[in-house]
Structure 1
């Protein structure tokens, strides 16, 4: 049994442990928390001594957590949450207090919401530093670590420690260049269209929110791009279409025209997610409200 002094465990070491556990690789964990790979390895060696366990075992090119590491996750996250609570200050003033947030999002919400928010904050004389993590379809796991305070995603949260706020509800529609073509009016016409898809990875696509009964009938996209900002340049001046949320008329696809799809589809929400550790944080509460107000001012809903 290790006789190491447990009081020497610090919050940074615990944050490093969670990062390694979630990333499954020392290099990725180091990049996520902004330290060197050797610093992460040194911290893991320290924790292995404290817990008298290897914690992570090499497995091919990655690492696999031990049973002890998996069991430690929940209590360590609880400790980090309590440490964060200690920093709460009821006397919050956005004009005085330091505000810094890291937000995981893809380029659509990033371009839609935050340039307007940044301008409004500047006009109010508020110094808030906003950092963004690029993500396709962000995972709620990102909000469980301290390096990401919020994320915006179409995926509804399904974890008890994740809180959420619905920012937008919008339907999938057909965007096109009206100077070149008209919108497809029938399902047959729609299926025959050449289209642009947004593919975040080999398995993640913006088409995932459409019903399988529809996507199974579509051919491969004529063009697949890695983000929403790249869609319009490929559609302008061509007969290509794209199927995206109608709210994008306020942002990434504002230079195109849209029409309803020739099939019935459900509205799709866009959520703001955060970990419960930030639920009562006055600065976090304030920023969530500003984001909500910004979305309302842009969309009118």
Structure 2
């Protein structure tokens, strides 16, 4: 058995599942020695890295990594694979020669899914930068809400922008940024909430597609109680403003909304911990 046969000693159908993204994930985990560090370097979720490693264990018939305290230890097979796959990747890169690309003669037609927060925050500037550089730029944007994996798998969309990342190992993902949530309110109607009691006694406007999906998974009972005090649920971020204005409702939303949909509303910091908001594409 030669070196290539040894590297690809696996069932044929498993061999066909192996792709560059999986190989790159394995190489980064080998390099960093950590699932968490690899996810940060790749700008994906830890679950995406773990899913990939599980698939590679099946393909290579080896655990690849074993638990040791809080860390992981590479198996001998993983070390050998790292050496061989690094050479294979380098060879693949040498085979791929970039074709001539002339943006000025290119027609770009993209279909994206994004809610109004991501749409207003990211896409106008994206369009302003790309449009002058290409012959034509067509951008079709549909609401994403909770993104469907099938939309990407069936080639109905080119890209999804969402804080809710599809939990599927075959979907390529990148973290764009991580932000924090703050409280928005109408200071002409109510004073700023400052204490924990202020937030516990308040009522809220929130998003219909987040109903029970985020706050209810938070271990803090107070956060769960806040979710039960939502009085209005709207279909998109832009709808928050209409119900904040002239009422005593509060909205807990990404701080970046101060630059568009919630511009002009008063802000208050949260006196309790809440998960940070990561935006993925």
TM-score tier, shorter chain, comes to 0.5 to 0.7
| Structure 2 residue 225 is the aligned partner of structure 1 residue 217 | yes
Aligned residue number for residue 268 of structure 2: 259
> In structure 2, what is the Cα distance between the partners aligned to 1:157 and 1:200?
15
Partner secondary structure for residue 249 of structure 1 = helix
Q: Where does the alignment leave 5 or more consecutive residues of structure 1 unmatched?
A: 1-87, 273-301
The answer to whether the 8 Å contact 1:235/1:241 transfers is yes
Q: Choose which of 236, 250, 271 in structure 2 pairs with 1:227.
A: 236
Cα distance in 2 between the residues matched to 1:209 and 1:125: 44
**Are 2:105 and 1:105 equivalent residues in the alignment?**
no
The question of whether the paired residues in 1 share the 8 Å contact of 2:163 and 2:277 is answered with yes
Q: 1:119 is matched with which residue?
A: 128
Instruction: Work out whether residues 206 and 244 of structure 1, in 8 Å CA contact, stay in contact via their aligned partners in 2.
Output: no
Q: Whole-Å Cα distance in 1 between the matches of residues 217 and 103 of structure 2? A: 37
Report the Cα offset of residue 124 of structure 1.
4.3
Count, aligned residues: 184
Determine helix, strand or coil for the equivalent of 1:222: strand
Aligned mates of 1:137, 1:228 — CA distance in 2: 14
Alpha-carbon distance change, 137 to 221 in structure 1, aligned in 2, over 3 angstroms? same
TM-superposed CA distance for 1:95, in Å, is 1.7
Shift of residue 180, structure 1, vs aligned partner: 2.8
Q: Which residue of the partner structure matches residue 142 of structure 2?
A: 133
Judge conservation of contact 2:106–2:135 (CA < 8 Å) in 1.
no
Gaps of 5+ in 2: 1-96
The Cα shift of 1:210 comes to 5.5
| Residues in 1 aligned to 2:151 and 2:216: alpha-carbon distance in whole angstroms | 21
Report the TM-score when normalising by structure 1: 0.54
* TM-superposed deviation, 1:163: 1.4
What is the CA distance between 1:268 and its match in structure 2? 1.7
Runs of 4+ that moved beyond 6 A: none
Do 1:166 and 1:269's aligned partners in 2 also have CA atoms closer than 8 Å? yes
Residue 240 (1) aligns with residue 249 (2): yes
**Which residue pairs with 1:291 in the alignment?**
none
Paired residues of 1:199 and 1:205 also in contact (CA < 8 A): no
Shift of 1:178: 2.6
Deviations 1:131-174 (A, max 9, x none): 12212121333221211111012123432221112112111211
Do the aligned residues in 1 keep the contact of 2:107 with 2:134 (CA within 8 Å)?
A: no
Residue 145 (1) aligns with residue 120 (2): no
